[in-house]
Amino acid sequence: MAQLWGGRFTKETDKLVYNFNASISFDRKFFEEDVEGSIAHVVMLEKQGILTEEEKNEIVKGLASIREDVKNGTLEITEEYEDIHSFVEANLIQRIGDAGKKLHTGRSRNDQVALDMKLYTRTEVVHVAQELEELLHTLLTLMEENLETYMPGFTHLQKAQPLTLAHHLGAYFEMFKRDSLRMKDIYARMNYCPLGSGALAGTTYPLDRGYTASLLGFEGPTLNSMDSVADRDYVIEFLSALSTVMMHLSRFCEEIIIWNSNEYRFVEIDDAYSTGSSIMPQKKNPDIAELVRGKTGRVYGALVSILTTMKGIPLAYNKDMQEDKELTFDAIDTVKGCLALFNGMLKTMKFNREVMAASAINGFTNATDAADYLVGKGVPFRDAHGIIGRLVLYCIEKNTCIDALSLEELKEISPVFEADVYEAVSLKTCVEKRLTVGAPGPEAMKEVVRLNREFLENSWLQEKR
Ligand code: ARG
């Protein structure tokens, strides 16, 4: 049981207490960040004349050797240390002796852990955005290929109006684009360095916080030392954005599960992304889509957990905040895994274009266009709506569709109908004429695809790679 703070204590910590309190089993995840932060700290301490050049060199060399040995497996991070900070410091002292004891000058584990968590999540914000971008590329390619793949659009899961697969996928493109931009915003807002805030009230050493911040790639230092060690807003924002990503993925999965069902057959998920049944030989189940949908709850759980943990904590640091880590790490890994798998599933999925188009034709998806046709002939829209409503009822009774009726039958319901109605309510016309910005008409969609291609080419991630 290696502890940094034994001086004031006369008794050993109870074993159960020690285990309950320890965080090394999970904060080992930011070992690299802890070393990186410590190096920046001592470089600054030397610049400020708090450490000699020799001491700094010894410490930096020692830290680098610890990093190297952990990487190549000669040094193991074991649970005999309370946390990753103790592990690094104890090993440093063991390696270089007295100089190692100066590493923690002008620093507390409170600002240290705030920094480590920030460095770790900052990197992961970029990783998640990279996964999102991969998915956006897949979506945009599919959109380009399916500008004229007709399918029904739904409201209330009832066929509503015809559109294209490009348009439907384009809706998800916009969602994941916003998710990517949310990552960009979070990155910018979180990018201030808490190191140098000490336990809560700064320190009397003449630290150059701006210098440490710049060494670690931050915009600058945070401006209130209490807030610096008590703030986990960036974790909450990140988890909130991750939850939104999962919500989008989950909706998409739900649709894919429906589309992949025996009744719809709009798509077929590739064998590599499906699983079978142990008893029913015919089955090919969309388990990956279901699992992604299922894991959404887990990510929401992390968000609600940290929000609840933080809500009653008085300033500044309290040990409750140690609870920010495990669920956050899990949520990040879950979302990255889900994005990668979903992307693979989408790339290999087969779209049954004929089935989709056939489904777009039946179900009166052209009823609005039929009403608009009458409006074009001078009928007020409300009257046109009523006429087409009666027409639909007539078709349902006869088990047919609007375009299959003869002109005589149409004229019986309204004399305004003429021969040009067939062209006006054809699937092609219904889709092609929807040309307002954001609508499914292929010409309108082409412009959207162009704008989104531009968005990806000027990705905010370019400068972060
Ligand atoms: N393991 C702790 C955490 O994750 C590190 C900070 C400990 N600070 C303290 N004052 N006990 O929050």
| pLDDT at site 106 | 97
Q: Over the range 223-241, which residues count as b (16 or more CB within 10 Å of their CB) and which as e? A: eebebbbbbbebbbbbbbb
Report the nearest-CA residue for atom 3 of ligand 1. Answer: 322
- Residue 207: which of 345, 117, 104 has the closest Cα? 104
CA distance 85 to 398: 77
| pLDDT at site 425 | 93
The tens digit of pLDDT for each residue in 396-444 reads 999 999 989 999 999 999 999 999 999 999 999 999 999 999 999 999 9
10 alpha-carbon distance from chain centroid? 48
Query: Max alpha carbon distance in the chain (Å)?
Result: 101
Are 217 and 119 within 8 A, CB to CB? Answer: no
Statement: residue 378 has pLDDT above 70: yes
- The residue assigned the tokens 């409170």 is 110
Q: Among this protein's residues, is 277 annotated catalytic?
A: yes
The tens digit of pLDDT for each residue in 130-178 reads 999 999 999 999 999 999 999 999 999 999 999 999 999 999 999 999 9
251 alpha-carbon distance from chain centroid? 14
| pLDDT at site 276 | 81
- Residue 374: which of 414, 404, 322, 407 has the closest Cα? 414
Are 357 and 150 within 8 A, CB to CB? Answer: yes
Statement: residue 113 has pLDDT above 70: yes
Are 92 and 104 within 8 A, CB to CB? Answer: no
Statement: residue 64 has pLDDT above 90: yes
Average pLDDT, the chain: 96
Q: Of the residues 86, 104, 156, 406, which is catalytic?
A: 156
113 CA from centroid of ligand 1 (Å): 7
CA distance 183 to 245: 10
Are 27 and 325 within 8 A, CB to CB? Answer: yes
Pocket residues: Cβ below 6 A from ligand 1: 23, 27, 83, 109-110, 113, 317, 319, 321-322
| pLDDT at site 172 | 98
114 CA from centroid of ligand 1 (Å): 9
Most informative mutation of 319, 323, 328 for ligand 1 (most atoms within 8 A of CB): 319
Helices (H) and strands (E) in the chain, counts: 19, 6
Q: Among this protein's residues, is 156 annotated catalytic?
A: yes
CA distance 59 to 119: 21
Statement: residue 275 has pLDDT above 90: no
| Residue 275 DSSP one-character state | B
Who contacts 403 (Cβ-Cβ below 8 Å, separation ≥6)? 361, 366, 422, 425, 426
Band of pLDDT at residue 229, cut at 50, 70 and 90:
very high
The tens digit of pLDDT for each residue in 337-372 reads 999 999 999 999 999 999 999 999 888 999 999 999
CA distance 301 to 239: 10
What mean pLDDT do residues 10-34 have? 94
Most informative mutation of 25, 118, 322, 327 for ligand 1 (most atoms within 8 A of CB): 322
Beta bridge partners of 154: 159
Band of pLDDT at residue 3, cut at 50, 70 and 90:
confident
3-state secondary structure 180-249: HHHHHHHHHHHCEECCCCCCCCCCCCCCCHHHHHHHCCCCEECCCHHHHHHCCHHHHHHHHHHHHHHHHH
pTM: 0.94
CA-to-CA dists, residue 31 to 35, 80, 389, 457, 462, angstroms: 6, 15, 67, 34, 27
DSSP annotation string for 123-136: HHHHHHHHHHHHHH
3-class state of residue 10 by DSSP = coil
Statement: residue 1 has pLDDT above 90: no
| pLDDT at site 66 | 98
* Token pair belonging to 33: 């960040």
Statement: residue 2 has pLDDT above 70: no
3-state helix, strand, coil in the chain (%, to 5): 65, 5, 30
Who contacts 304 (Cβ-Cβ below 8 Å, separation ≥6)? none
